[in-house]
Structure 1
Amino acid sequence: MKKIVYTALVATGLTLSACNDSFMERYSDTSLTENTVFGNYNTFKTYAWGLYDVFTNGNILRRVGSDGAYASSRTYFSDVYAGYLMQRQGGGNPYAFQNISNVASGNGWSFGYIRSVNVMLANIDKSTMNETDKEHWRSVGYFFRAYFYAELIARFGDVPWIDHILTEDDTEIAYGKRTPRKTVADNVLNDLVYAEEHIKSAGDGDNTINTNVVRALISRFALFEGTWRRYHNLGDEEKYFDACIKYSEKLMQAYPDLHDNWGEMLTSNLAGMKGIILYKEYVPSEVNNYAMHLVERTSTHNIEMPQHIVDMYLCSDGNPIGTSEKYEWGKTDKTMYSTFRNRDRRLLETVAPPYEVVNHANKSWEYVDGKREYMDILGVTTYTGYGGGNGEAGKHKVFPMMNWSGNILPAVPHFFTNQGGVGFCVAKSGNYVWRLYNVWDCSLENKAEADMPIFKIDEVLLNYAEAKYEKGEFNNEVADITINKLRRQFAKIADMDVNAINNSFDPNRDPDVNPVLWEIRRERMVELMGEGFGFYDVRRWKKAEWFINKVAYGQWATKEQIGEGGTFINLETGLATTDKEQKEGYIYMYNDPTKVGKGWLDKYYLYQIPTNEIALNPNLLPNNPGW
């Protein structure tokens, strides 16, 4: 992302509103500052740099960067909430165990950013710019406002639609009712269509908002809104599926090629990478307190994958584990080696696969016979430039795993702290998530260089495939240009054959979902794992209960592996086993939420409007259902 320049704004006194500003904080002094800041094309550009902060906004769950010691964990929150991932510590999924509290403020109910965009939009026609330039900046403003409103809609449904700077005369809006969701969504889509037609095709330079970035947001938002309307019975969804298909097709023509290494898209410099539409650029000299990639090489990282999600990854023949002849687990042994054998390669890049080396005191090591197959499969090179982040960009998944100072992790799985004298990269379940792990960008000083994608063609292909299904138009031809294209990119699994997918294709699927749609959704989950889409997806499908109510447990292990402090789960009761003599089994992580009287509540589909906001404006009542 371009550097954000605040100097001119601060000098004039016009700063961007804090993102947690209350909707009620709506009146502001716009004299002098607007007259001096908004004059010509370059001053609009300077102001707009600050709007790019929306992509790392703390009020948005699906964000592309995060700061602080637990930054890596926060990046995964959406998929943790969806039940795709779990935390080693923390009491389990808060939505599964009903640990979501009533809120007085916050919760993402924030309109300060909307006001910041509207300030820019209000000054366009007053400027000295020509009509083409005015249309461009109006389009940029519409994009940013739409991006934030998409989040507000996803959280709250009905929200106030504010398309201008509120004044003392705007009491009907300030103290009025929420605007119906469908009206707000239609306004967002209309603004984005305008922006796609009027924004400058090249934006304002490399990696800025341009025609294709607008199309990417339409693709994402239109799929979300269309499926939400369909599965939540709101109606009038077809125009959103049509929009998703139309603008996704334009992007598929503009980005015909994919990057050939799936894992590198979250661990590398993204400038010039195939398929990347917009990304957040990190420059070490200008970034502080950013530790996403460093965390995954420490004892702090606590994100793991429950075994039932590992089991959702397909085998190399394109079949699920329940019907695949390629699935090895249980045929010769029940180790992690057989679990990961002949599986979708994206699993190996998401969950650290098994290996074992002989670790020597001087930070050197040697292979162990029969324990290096996944080292060879990933094709990584060993790395000896310990610490400091002075490795080679792209050499991301390096074996053996090591911490920030180059100390070796001799084996995966690594079940408990100080097992083998090593306290980092621990996974109680055995399934250590290392999506962001890399060695070259060590972030020792809490500064980073690896970029993060905001929009990429991989997501667009999945949006297109799903929208085509919802239109009744998904077939092998569509599968070949979307899902099969992604599989051939890196996964190394057989193509999807739509005609072969029937009710018996996967005996473990949700029986209430069409088997073809289930496979489309599976592909999305796998391709976008760890990128913040999960909680949005399970809610728009109205399938949160199916995913979130699952009992989270670890891989099959022996008592010797997990130690005396570990225990196994009884899948019939959903609780920890009481058999003290049990020698092996699936590792207990958390109780089955439904077996202990908890589980997903339908009120969670929409967030609560904070009580303080309702106190200020009682017309916001009724709150969302169940709150």
Structure 2
Amino acid sequence: MKKIISIAFLSIIAFGACKKEDFLDRFPQDAISEPTYFKNENDLKLFINKFYDTLPVQSPSFQSIYNDFNSDNFAPAAIDQFLANQLTVPPSGGGWSNSTWSNIRSVNYFLQRYNKAEADATTKGYYAGEAHFFRAFFYWQKVQRFGAVPWLSTDLTDTSLTQLYGPRQPHTVVMDSVLADLNFAVANAAEATNTQFAGRITKDVAQALKSRICLWEGTYRKYWGLTGDQTWLRECVTASEALINSGRYAIYKTGNPSTDYYNLFIQEELKGNKEAILARRYVKDVNMQTTTRDISNVWPALSKNFVRSFLCSDGLPTSLSTLYKGDDSLDQEKLNRDPRFTQIIATRGFSFKNNVDGSKDLMTLPRIPSIVTGYGAIKAYSPDPVQWNINQSTLDLFIFRYAETLLNYAEAKAELGEADQTVINNSINKIRDRVGMIPMVIASLVKDPKSDFPGLPVLIDEIRRERRIELVGEGFRYDDLVRWKAGKLIENPETILGMKLVPAIRAQYPAAQISSIQVDANNYIRVYTNISARSWNDKLYLHPLPIDQLTLNPALAPQNPGW
């Protein structure tokens, strides 16, 4: 009887509670719910914050699509499967899974609801500008990977059947919408001088992304024979000039041309550095990274093709300069070259580690085979042992760097036929001045007989060379080859070769250390002993759609060319 009374009493309480609080209709307590969120500015800020981790840092140690390991700049020990044409159409995933579209859906969800917040219109516009920035970035990534993709401007549900099972939109249509998003971000994001938005997406950051994307799209349309290239190139110029004319940015230099470029990428604090348009900051015990440790674990190995692209100190290519001393040794090869040579590549005297007792682990011979080509990339690598601890590094990393904007500007102006000496002085020569490299003088340029682009005007050719050197390892090279429709450069045998290992140099190593190293007929290290060159297939300009998505939604057909 006591149990019956107790149960009845509890049932009455429970029933009353349900009636009083409408318990069964309560909003979710563990997820964002429209009626309980988007109430104030802080809600808007917190919602947008989750997208910041998607921004790529420009570092050669982050082994992902954001570095150059999938290009002709590097020859990693494990051959890039995509460029080796070893990948097949995936059954699922492949960059098209639900999770890879979730950020776009989240942005659309935000854009349909942010106006509900109790904040002034200008403040809400700041966050809407950030949202449009991220949507432009996410969609550009999709277009780079797949070409034509569906354009979705609302957050779809399982009842949005027409849109969910709709077709892909043409590349140009999607990118026109991307440009609209970029322009919205530029018009509405907070000013760079707004201290409350320091470290966030501001108008200047939006201009930097616009400069990057518009150069990519403008040159893509030009070299792939699509319309509208001039419009996009002019948009790139407009965005770049806005940053240049702001006076807020400059090339970092301290008057030490032999070290300033190298030191730029191993700084504890990029806040206040005028070359940083946006950087990812790392703070001890709060947010740390592992760049130096990653580099030392698997050294990024530069290709012979990249190393040959350095000009000599007189501004001429190795094929024309009397200053070039040959490449029978790395000591010889570095002589009279662009000063960035020894700030990008480990050469004799470079300290791999500054020990706590004051001693240094100095390089003498190239460290093969741990650096498979002999050309070890040292960009963003610190000899400070404190930075060696895994996931303990506090060196800041760039997301948008002013030097890139200057290179975008120079290339866009050259493609438009408007790059005079003033343009070059305000872009390329600002970058060269950091390292004391001879200025580029248009009237003195001579076409390299071994140019990768024999059909191009010499100015565009040399601007591309400058971009390759300055931005190596920062994640641009493969995308550059795509937009220039220059995938065939992957077939150059030098892209998978290393330094020359002549008998006199080989004799300086312990035999056991290099017994496995093979060389070609000219004594260059062969990284992949089963092939003498890679074979390019035009299908590699795009990735394939996974089988399950084409099966679920036949409207996505046809599959990308060649797959």
TM range (shorter): 0.7 to 0.9
| 1:489 equivalenced with 2:489 (yes/no) | no
CA deviation map 1:571-622 (0-9, x unaligned): 6xxxxxxxxxxxxx222222595x67x5111011011111111122111000
Which of residues 391, 410, 420 is equivalent to 1:475? 420
1:105 offset after TM fit, Å?
Answer: 2.3
Which of residues 570, 589, 601 is equivalent to 2:527? 589
Take 1:265 and 1:243, find their aligned partners in 2: how far apart are those partners?
Answer: 29
1:382 offset after TM fit, Å?
Answer: 8.9
Percent of aligned pairs sharing the same letter: 30
State whether residues 220 and 484 of structure 2, in contact with CA within 8 Å, keep that contact through their aligned partners in structure 1.
Answer: yes
Which of residues 539, 549, 557 is equivalent to 2:482? 539
Equivalences for residues 105-116 of structure 1 within 5 A: 105-109=92-96, 110-116=100-106
Opposite residue 267 of structure 1, the aligned amino acid is I
Take 1:272 and 1:620, find their aligned partners in 2: how far apart are those partners?
Answer: 47
Residues 415 and 516 of structure 1: CA distance in aligned 2, closer, same or farther (over 3 Å): same
Equivalences for residues 44-443 of structure 1 within 5 A: 44-55=44-55, 63-64=56-57, 72=61, 74=63, 78-87=67-76, 89-90=77-78, 92-109=79-96, 110-202=100-192, 204-254=196-246, 255-260=248-253, 261-268=260-267, 269-287=269-287, 290-297=289-296, 300-329=297-326, 334-355=328-349, 383-385=354-356, 400=360, 408=361, 411-416=364-369, 426-440=370-384, 441-443=386-388
Opposite residue 402 of structure 2, the aligned amino acid is I
CA deviation map 1:463-512 (0-9, x unaligned): 0011001111112221111111100012x221111122243x44344313
Take 1:183 and 1:345, find their aligned partners in 2: how far apart are those partners?
Answer: 43
Which of residues 458, 462, 466 is equivalent to 2:407? 462
1:77 offset after TM fit, Å?
Answer: 6.3
Residues 173 and 381 of structure 1: CA distance in aligned 2, closer, same or farther (over 3 Å): closer
Take 2:409 and 2:326, find their aligned partners in 1: how far apart are those partners?
Answer: 34
Q: Which has the larger radius of gyration?
A: 2
1:130 offset after TM fit, Å?
Answer: 2.1
5+ unaligned residues in a row in structure 1: which ranges? 1-9, 16-32, 56-62, 356-374, 392-398, 401-407, 417-425, 572-584
CA deviation map 1:172-231 (0-9, x unaligned): 211010111111111111121122112221464221110100100110000011111111
1:12 offset after TM fit, Å?
Answer: 4.4
Partner of 2:547: 611
CA deviation map 1:62-91 (0-9, x unaligned): x2179xxxx92605864121111111x21x
Normalising by structure 2, we get a TM-score of: 0.86
Secondary structure of the equivalent of 2:45? Answer: helix
The range that moved more, 262-271 or 181-190, is 262-271
Residues 77 and 225 of structure 1: CA distance in aligned 2, closer, same or farther (over 3 Å): closer
Opposite residue 174 of structure 1, the aligned amino acid is L
1:561 offset after TM fit, Å?
Answer: 4.2
Take 2:331 and 2:403, find their aligned partners in 1: how far apart are those partners?
Answer: 29
Take 1:205 and 1:11, find their aligned partners in 2: how far apart are those partners?
Answer: 31
Partner of 2:31: 14
Residues 443 and 46 of structure 1: CA distance in aligned 2, closer, same or farther (over 3 Å): farther
Opposite residue 356 of structure 2, the aligned amino acid is G
Take 2:227 and 2:541, find their aligned partners in 1: how far apart are those partners?
Answer: 17
Take 1:469 and 1:561, find their aligned partners in 2: how far apart are those partners?
Answer: 47
Secondary structure of the equivalent of 1:128? Answer: coil
Take 1:231 and 1:239, find their aligned partners in 2: how far apart are those partners?
Answer: 14
Residues 107 and 263 of structure 1: CA distance in aligned 2, closer, same or farther (over 3 Å): farther
Opposite residue 554 of structure 2, the aligned amino acid is P
1:427 offset after TM fit, Å?
Answer: 1.6
Residues 155 and 561 of structure 1: CA distance in aligned 2, closer, same or farther (over 3 Å): farther
1:624 offset after TM fit, Å?
Answer: 1.1
Residues 533 and 592 of structure 1: CA distance in aligned 2, closer, same or farther (over 3 Å): farther
Take 2:406 and 2:64, find their aligned partners in 1: how far apart are those partners?
Answer: 23
State whether residues 280 and 453 of structure 1, in contact with CA within 8 Å, keep that contact through their aligned partners in structure 2.
Answer: yes
Normalising by structure 1, we get a TM-score of: 0.77
Take 2:65 and 2:298, find their aligned partners in 1: how far apart are those partners?
Answer: 11
Take 1:54 and 1:471, find their aligned partners in 2: how far apart are those partners?
Answer: 32
The structure with the greater share of residues assigned to helix is: 2
State whether residues 78 and 536 of structure 1, in contact with CA within 8 Å, keep that contact through their aligned partners in structure 2.
Answer: no
Opposite residue 401 of structure 2, the aligned amino acid is K
Partner of 2:7: none
Residues 11 and 291 of structure 1: CA distance in aligned 2, closer, same or farther (over 3 Å): farther
State whether residues 226 and 240 of structure 1, in contact with CA within 8 Å, keep that contact through their aligned partners in structure 2.
Answer: yes
| CA RMSD after TM alignment | 2.5
Partner of 1:507: 450
Partner of 2:18: none
Take 1:561 and 1:433, find their aligned partners in 2: how far apart are those partners?
Answer: 22
State whether residues 89 and 545 of structure 2, in contact with CA within 8 Å, keep that contact through their aligned partners in structure 1.
Answer: no
Secondary structure of the equivalent of 2:431? Answer: helix
Secondary structure of the equivalent of 2:315? Answer: coil
CA deviation map 1:86-118 (0-9, x unaligned): 11x21x343443222221222222210101111
Take 1:450 and 1:412, find their aligned partners in 2: how far apart are those partners?
Answer: 28
Take 1:305 and 1:167, find their aligned partners in 2: how far apart are those partners?
Answer: 47
Take 2:43 and 2:482, find their aligned partners in 1: how far apart are those partners?
Answer: 40
Take 2:125 and 2:167, find their aligned partners in 1: how far apart are those partners?
Answer: 31
CA deviation map 1:414-457 (0-9, x unaligned): 223xxxxxxxxx22321111212103351414222111111111
Take 2:184 and 2:498, find their aligned partners in 1: how far apart are those partners?
Answer: 49
Residues 438 and 554 of structure 1: CA distance in aligned 2, closer, same or farther (over 3 Å): same
Secondary structure of the equivalent of 1:554? Answer: strand
Take 1:156 and 1:227, find their aligned partners in 2: how far apart are those partners?
Answer: 18
CA deviation map 1:222-257 (0-9, x unaligned): 001111111111211111101000110010122352
| 1:621 equivalenced with 2:557 (yes/no) | yes
Partner of 1:553: 497
Opposite residue 569 of structure 1, the aligned amino acid is D
The range that moved more, 252-261 or 303-312, is 252-261
Take 2:92 and 2:262, find their aligned partners in 1: how far apart are those partners?
Answer: 38
Residues 381 and 537 of structure 1: CA distance in aligned 2, closer, same or farther (over 3 Å): closer
Take 1:615 and 1:76, find their aligned partners in 2: how far apart are those partners?
Answer: 27
CA deviation map 1:527-575 (0-9, x unaligned): 100101111111110011124543421212233246333222126xxxx
